Amino acid sequence: MKSLVYYGSKNVKVENITEPEVSKDTVKIKVKFAGICGTDLHEYLHKTFVTEDKMILGHEFTGEIVEVGDNVTRFKTGDRVAVEPIWGCGECDTCKTGNYNICPDMKSYGIHENGGFAEYVVVKEANVFALPDTLSYEFAALIEPLAVVLQAIRKSKFKIGDSVALFGAGPIGLLLSESLRAAGASKIFVAEVSEERRKLALEMGADIVINPIEEDAVQVIKNNTNGGVDVSFDVAGVEATFNQSLDCIKPNGEFMIVSVFANPVNYHPTMQVVSEKKINSSLGYNNIFAQSIDLLAKGSLNVEPVITSVIALDNIVEDGFEKLISDKNECKILVKPS
């Protein structure tokens, strides 16, 4: 089968390898679509989480079951499914309290075991979720990033009627903007350097978009609120957005870190202490995949604008990774393996 094999930073190859085989507790899925995530870009540029070479990347994928193991009871051949890619050890206190996303031994398809940038993938039955007929395979490829967004909102102090600011309008930022709109945010600010992504943000929940290169984003936010927003979200992951996210919240407000930072940041704690501002964080998701599916299936969220390209697996390097690095007009690129 055709697959994207990862050998290290800037060293990935589309190759034909042997199709995976099911074991007693697994299912084999013919992948319909797989989304390129920021984590995939991190691995492509700088090996961070992938533990082994010759790994098949891709953790945002959906498809059709073509074979089931002997012990599989919940699924059959022909079922339309999505895969929650992460799992914990199941034994530590973190897992036993339901927080398997921050298990010290957390694992993921596409990082620790072969993922969805391939024609076929074999996964554990426990990680598989059925798709309703009303949900397309394309939109189902957004279930995983939407779960990240829902987790961040749930973990934050956000409540209906609050004002919010988002720094960064990539796929997570756009889905976050649209989800906060649906959750009842009174005013949504989005700061983003890309003009095309600012336009997308206006389609996906934003009330005011800001070009932080041309405007003082913090001042614009404070001028349009009573001293700052209730909650801010950093979905860009650089030092400038970290400090802006903290500066733009009102006293006793909350700054939620959603992004993964490639580099350390310089930050002055006094900025936080003098106004009793809170810093919180969210990693991935837990026990929220089913709700993500339900929201998409009901059409509760306008997610179509976030998908900007669909490409063939053969072209994933040039039209996928490299394009996302160089062209900030692109947002979520879906890969169609066959």
pLDDT at 300 > cutoff 80: yes
Mean pLDDT of 209-237: 97
Sheet bearing 229-234, strands edge to edge: 208-210, 187-191, 163-167, 229-234, 249-257, 278-281
Is domain 157-281 in CATH 3.40.50.720, yes or no? Answer: yes
- pLDDT tens track for 95-126: 999 999 999 999 999 999 999 999 999 999 99
Q: What is the SS3 assignment for 109? A: strand
pTM of the model: 0.96
What's CA 283's distance to the chain center, in Å?
10
Q: Name the band, by pLDDT with cuts 50, 70 and 90, for residue 226.
A: very high
Residue 193 parent element (H or E): none
Distance CA 76, CA 224 (A): 54
Provide CB contacts within 8 A for 289, sequence distance 6+. 82, 84, 129, 143, 144, 147
Domain borders along the chain are 2-146+285-336, 157-281
Residue showing tokens 């992948």: 31
Mean pLDDT of 54-69: 97
Q: Name the band, by pLDDT with cuts 50, 70 and 90, for residue 50.
A: confident
How many residues are recorded in the chain?
338
Distance CA 323, CA 311 (A): 11
Query: Residue 49 has what pLDDT?
Result: 82
Query: Residue 76 has what pLDDT?
Result: 98
Mean pLDDT score across all residues of the chain: 96
- Whether 157-281 and 2-146+285-336 are alike in CATH topology: the answer is no
How many angstroms separate the Cα of 163 from the Cα of each of 168, 217, 290?
Answer: 17, 15, 27
How many angstroms separate the Cα of 164 from the Cα of each of 106, 111, 214, 245, 279?
Answer: 31, 32, 21, 10, 14
Query: Residue 34 has what pLDDT?
Result: 98
Q: Which CATH architecture has domain 2-146+285-336?
A: Alpha-Beta Complex (3.90)
Distance CA 161, CA 143 (A): 26
Query: Residue 262 has what pLDDT?
Result: 83
Query: Residue 258 has what pLDDT?
Result: 97
Mean pLDDT of 174-202: 97
pLDDT at 332 > cutoff 80: yes
* 8 Å CB contact between 235 and 259: yes
- Where in the chain does DSSP place strands (E)? 2-8, 11-16, 26-35, 55-56, 60-68, 80-83, 86-87, 107-108, 120-124, 128-130, 163-167, 187-191, 208-210, 229-234, 249-257, 278-281, 307-312, 332-336
Q: Name the band, by pLDDT with cuts 50, 70 and 90, for residue 55.
A: very high
Query: Residue 145 has what pLDDT?
Result: 98
Q: Name the band, by pLDDT with cuts 50, 70 and 90, for residue 9.
A: confident
How many angstroms separate the Cα of 254 from the Cα of each of 34, 168, 234, 276?
Answer: 33, 17, 11, 9
How many angstroms separate the Cα of 318 from the Cα of each of 12, 276, 322?
Answer: 11, 47, 5
Distance CA 284, CA 299 (A): 23
Q: Name the band, by pLDDT with cuts 50, 70 and 90, for residue 159.
A: very high
Query: Residue 260 has what pLDDT?
Result: 87
* 8 Å CB contact between 16 and 1: yes
Judging by DSSP bridges, how do beta strands 2-8 and 55-56 pair with one another?
A: antiparallel
Show the tokens assigned to 227. Answer: 């001293």
Query: Residue 136 has what pLDDT?
Result: 97
Query: Residue 101 has what pLDDT?
Result: 97
Distance CA 205, CA 189 (A): 9
Q: Name the band, by pLDDT with cuts 50, 70 and 90, for residue 47.
A: confident
Q: Name the band, by pLDDT with cuts 50, 70 and 90, for residue 295.
A: very high
* 8 Å CB contact between 56 and 158: no
